[in-house]
Amino acid sequence: MSTPWSRPRCGLRGFTIIELMVTITLLAILLGLAVPSFALWINNSRVRTTAQVLQDGLRLAQAEAVRRNRTVSFFLTTAANPDADSTANANGGNWGVRVLPLTGTTREFVRGGALAGVNNGVTITSASTLVCFNAAGQQVANGTEGCAIDAGNPNAIYDVAHAGSDRPLRVIASLGGRVRMCDPAKTLSAANPDGCPPL
């Protein structure tokens, strides 16, 4: 006579230690293959986000210039909390937009923020510390503010990159006021609408 506790267990079976080790090894290999791609994706996202913030800041300055019928400047700064009197710096990790006075020296601060990607290895290379827009939304030189326009290349160009990224981006504010983001690895054409115009 058999008792309930002495019956053989049919169909009930767990993992053996070998099966468990094989599964863990396969997961480790797959994870090892995925990590570089994931890191590349994160760095590309940081570049894209930083370039988008630059583009949006330039467009904000341009829109404010048209709306207020005044000269407005966009600037990068190292100041932790940008304001109307922040010093412009081409290597700044923050940005700001300010309205230039018609008379006197008091500037009005519109908005500013952080370029979070700069704190995570993103670099911004630009000859333009400041970009000024006039009431027509076009770039303009302003000696008092420090906005200059290079006759050889009047566009304000910001190259955004990361050492661990394979897709740098460029933000261009043209002399006529067009602000766009593009891929410097491609030349603007019908086949590559996301490419950059030749410099």
Q: At 126, which CATH number?
A: 3.55.40
Q: How many domains does the chain have?
A: 1
Residue-range definition of the domain harbouring residue 185: 17-68+119-196
Confidence of residue 1 (pLDDT cuts 50, 70, 90): low
Q: Determine the pLDDT at residue 21.
A: 86
Q: Is residue 85 in some structural domain?
A: no
Q: Is the pLDDT of residue 72 over 80?
A: yes
Q: Is residue 103 in some structural domain?
A: no
Q: In what order do the strands lie in the sheet with 94-99?
A: 108-114, 94-99, 72-77, 130-133
Q: Is the pLDDT of residue 168 over 70?
A: yes
Phi-psi group of 177: left, alpha or beta (phi > 0 → left; psi -120 to 50 → alpha; rest → beta): left
Percent of the chain exceeding pLDDT 90 equals 44
Q: Is residue 185 in some structural domain?
A: yes
Q: Determine the pLDDT at residue 52.
A: 94
Q: Is residue 149 in some structural domain?
A: yes
How are beta strands 179-187 and 195-196 bridged, if at all? parallel
Q: Is residue 89 in some structural domain?
A: no
Q: Is residue 177 in some structural domain?
A: yes
Q: Return d(Cα 54, Cα 85) in angstroms, integer.
A: 20
